[in-house]
Amino acid sequence: MPDSPQSEEIAIPGLKERPGGQFAVILIQDGVMTVADVKKAMRVQEKLGSSKLVSTILTELGMLTEGEHRRIIRKHGREFRIGELICELGYITLQQLQQAEKKLATSPGKRIGAVIREMGLIEDRQLAQALSEQLAMPLIHLDIDTADRMVLTQFAIKFMRMHLTVPYEASGSKVSIATANPLNNTAIAEIEKRMQKKAVVSIAAESAILSLLSKLESAGGKGGEAKDQVADVVDSILLSAIRDHASDIHIEPMDGLARVRFRLDGVLIHKMDLPSELSQRVLARLKVLAEMDISDSRRHQDGRFTREVSNVRADYRVSTYVTIYGENMVMRILRSSGGIKNIEQISMSRGVLDRFKHEALDVPTGVVLITGPTGSGKTSTLYAAVDYLNRPTTKIITVEDPVEFIVPGIMQCSVDATAGRSFDQSLKAMMRQDPDIIVMGEVRDRPSAQVAVQAALTGHKVLTTFHTEDSIGGLLRLIDMGIETFLISSTVVSILAQRLIRTICPECRQAYMPNKRIANLIGIDDETLRTNTFYRGTGCGTCYGTGYHGRTALHELLVLNEDVREAILARKSSHDIRQISCETTNLLSLMEDGMYKVLLGLTTAEEVYRIAPRSLSTRSVEDIYRLMGHGE
């Protein structure tokens, strides 16, 4: 008989009083965990001397996922005390929370959140994020240039500073209010009464509110001609994205506001919310920059623009998608001023790198394919390979859409169909330029694949990228495109598959024991688990509570030999070709490279399990170390 929601306190006396106990109660109430599950975590907690939250232990045991943990917080935020919530979000440790609670006991009139911040354990933006999660209120980016001064100047600066509450926009029957103290109903009620409008309340960081009021005070607290606030908001978003090393910016319309999220290390992170009216003006400005039709908000559109922000020049590919709440915009950031990585800097394990250079790139003719899904770092690896091959005695010519990095000494062509430089036309023209090495941004279809193969047949070296799951999938995709197997076997030199995975945050890196099931699934056996130290990030301000900061790459290099070529000619299955490749070419899978990087302490077993394609079997740790050139 399942445990009823009412029985958890009887079954586990004093559960709520334990560190993280409230979270455990909710897990039982929601049916996510059983009483037995929680008791198991409590036994571990007792052995550790209550040094970890129940939720942390459940996650380490593999019984609770990070996604489920965040979902529970969002759903039940109001049931947590703010100190508990800050701890559950990973901003502080349990020991730090206990220290803050002791200090709170000697600080009458203060709240635990304020005490934690005064102790320097969190930043005020993290406190604002926690309040946003607890009260299910939007977190807003606030600045003098995004606020309506005509609304601001209706209230005394002293009043707004005292209550840490500002009205920043009024429209129709509503007034938008930002506050760092959402429980202060007095200030909110006063604003509603004076403006005769219903309040729509958002959370803002205290520093943002005080900064806004200081700027307003410096300006005399009066309205007047403000500088272009929309342009400043756009610049602020772009600058923040560049500083955070974001790969994409998402501006997403919601009911009454727009959510701004950045993709950091492959994962979307919420950054700010914009008032609905302001977000529409921000989108209009970005559409102008991208040379899109600002008068048309009913069609999906694409555009691009180039801009230098904080001394970083980047190309922004802009795409809009019409939703029920308006236009959703995504901007892919392509940095052109970050420099091309040297081939030694692409996170390739030493053994794989040596083979890639000497058995793939140094071969004078043939096709080298770099494959993986969108956002897997193929372009960076392609440019690193071009940089390695770029010599005064060699002519390299490219066709790209667009040119993402400028490489001195090579001939680069950016596709422009409107100017008569389509991809197909450029491919045909480049063959008449007497190249030694041809670089194609991507094999898109059968014609481009045929050009690559024909170029290799005539004695050229061809580098290009492809969208497939793994290295063997690259071979099968060429066959599916209608390229004859004898052409594939005689022209393709190697296929390099890759993925990007997050690396452990160095600021909060701690030893831990991975989930046994997940570790086994990526090839780490029980003996290796017992005899090695593993690491993960516990979550901090640097990594936005994720435990990860930065990314590294996993690689799978297939260098074709006679056995593999014969398997292609015989049209053997992908399973058979992979088995032959592993046995005769020392092919190491993406999963095996991931396992190696877990053992090096670069990433976690959970991250490799999330990203790497499954392998039917993996080599021993000793064999992987040997093939990776470990210790050489």
Helix 574-585 / helix 471-480 crossing angle, nearest 10 deg: 130
pLDDT of the residue at 632: 53
pLDDT of the residue at 11: 58
228: pLDDT strictly greater than 60: no
93: pLDDT strictly greater than 90: no
187-213: b (≥16 Cβ within 10 Å) or e: bbeebbeebebebbbbbbbbebbeebb
The whole-number average pLDDT for the span 300-321 is 88
The predicted-structure confidence for 171-201, as pLDDT tens digits, reads as follows 777 889 999 988 878 889 888 888 888 899 9
- Going from N- to C-terminal start, the domains of the chain cover 5-123, 144-222, 230-335, 343-627
Tell me the helix, strand and coil percentages in the chain, rounded to 5. 45, 20, 35
Q: Reduced to 3 states, what is the DSSP secondary structure of residue 72?
A: helix
Percent of the chain with pLDDT over 70: 93
| Sheet of strand 198-203, all strands in order from the earlier edge strand to the far edge | 165-171, 174-179, 198-203
pLDDT of the residue at 7: 44
pLDDT of the residue at 338: 56
pLDDT of the residue at 67: 75
The whole-number average pLDDT for the span 83-104 is 85
Higher pLDDT: 339 or 632? It is 339
The whole model's pTM is what?
0.64
Q: Are 459 and 363 in contact (CB under 8 A)?
A: no
Tell me how crowded residue 394 is: count the other CB atoms within 10 A of its CB.
13
Q: Are 237 and 146 in contact (CB under 8 A)?
A: no
The predicted-structure confidence for 350-406, as pLDDT tens digits, reads as follows 889 999 999 999 999 999 999 999 889 998 999 999 999 999 999 999 998 878 788
For the domain spanning 230-335, the CATH number is 3.30.450.90
pLDDT of the residue at 4: 44
For the domain spanning 144-222, the CATH number is 3.30.300.160
Say how far residue 58 (Cα) sits from the centre of its chain: 25
What spatial distance separates the first Cα and last Cα of the chain, rounded to whole Å?
Answer: 59
**What are the angstrom distances between the C-alpha of 417 and each of 299, 411, 414, 439?**
22, 19, 10, 19
Q: Top-level CATH class of 343-627?
A: alpha beta
The predicted-structure confidence for 1-19, as pLDDT tens digits, reads as follows 344 444 444 457 667 667 7
The beta strand positions in 183-311, using DSSP E, are 198-203, 248-253, 257-264, 267-275, 301-309
The whole-number average pLDDT for the span 116-128 is 87
Token readout for 33 is 């965990």
337: pLDDT strictly greater than 70: no
pLDDT of the residue at 336: 65
